[in-house]
Amino acid sequence: MSTFSQLALIDPCSPISMMLNKFHDRALMMIILVLTVVGYALVFILRNSFTHRFALEAQRIETIWTIIPGVILLFLAIPSLHLLYLMDELKSPMFTLKVIGHQWYWSYEYSDFHSNLAFDSYMLNEEDLPKGGYRLLEVDNRAVLPYKTELRLLITSTDVIHAWTIPAACVKADAIPGRLNQLGLSFSRPGVYYGQCSEICGANHSFMPIVVEVVSPMAFVQWAHIPEQST
């Protein structure tokens, strides 16, 4: 059963998603303020329409309703541009994960490591779901990543355009054949995060989910069988 709290955005799991949630709340408050003021002005004008029907111009009012929207747009544009630059910034990633889209599954390559980790990730059939698993979202091989670690994702495709999306991390990047899209990613807490292909890529578009399991750096080292000297 749905609850009122589910009307809000999903809980953020990365610094960028936290800032995007705050920006959303700020923009929403401004929208509510604008709607309130404009609604009051409309009601006031309608109630006094006969009094002001012979008014031909009001330069003071026109000046006010030109300047105020410009100021509001500045309050939205400045943090928006700041977030755009932060989302594109990639200083010194610890390692690179390559994501490859196929019809209709994902492949992951941890090519920075000695073992050259690589595997495919397919959606689990309903009869193979573990207890408590999510239908149409669970996969046989999860992408495992460490938290509080700067990561770089290289995303591409082998056939048609796909889109690798994790809503909780506010991450969405197109997987385009013949092209590598670069994306910075950092998780702030452990957990299992789900996503789906967000590009209509064919008949089984709805059946290529994304599951990222975020663990501690030590657990990731053990999972990847990385020697201590290489970490």
pLDDT, tens only, 22-68: 999 889 999 999 999 889 888 887 777 655 666 666 788 788 888 98
Q: What is the pLDDT of residue 90?
A: 79
Residue 66 burial by Cβ neighbours in a 10 Å radius (0-12, 13-18, 19+): exposed
- Quote the CA–CA distance of 78 and 63 in Å, as a whole number: 23
pLDDT digits (tens, 9 = 90+) for 84-97: 888 877 778 888 99
pLDDT band at 160 (very low <50, low <70, confident <90, very high): very high
Q: What is the pLDDT of residue 231?
A: 40
- Helices 15-47 and 59-88 cross at an angle (nearest 10°) of 170
Domains of the chain (ranges, CATH numbers): 15-88 (1.10.287.90), 95-225 (2.60.40.420)
Kindly provide the b/e burial profile for residues 7-44, where b requires at least 16 CB atoms within 10 angstroms of the residue's own CB. Answer: eeeeebbbebbebbbeeeeeeeeeeeeeeeeeeeeeee
pTM for this model (two decimals): 0.80
> For residue 177, how many other CB atoms are within 10 A of its CB?
12
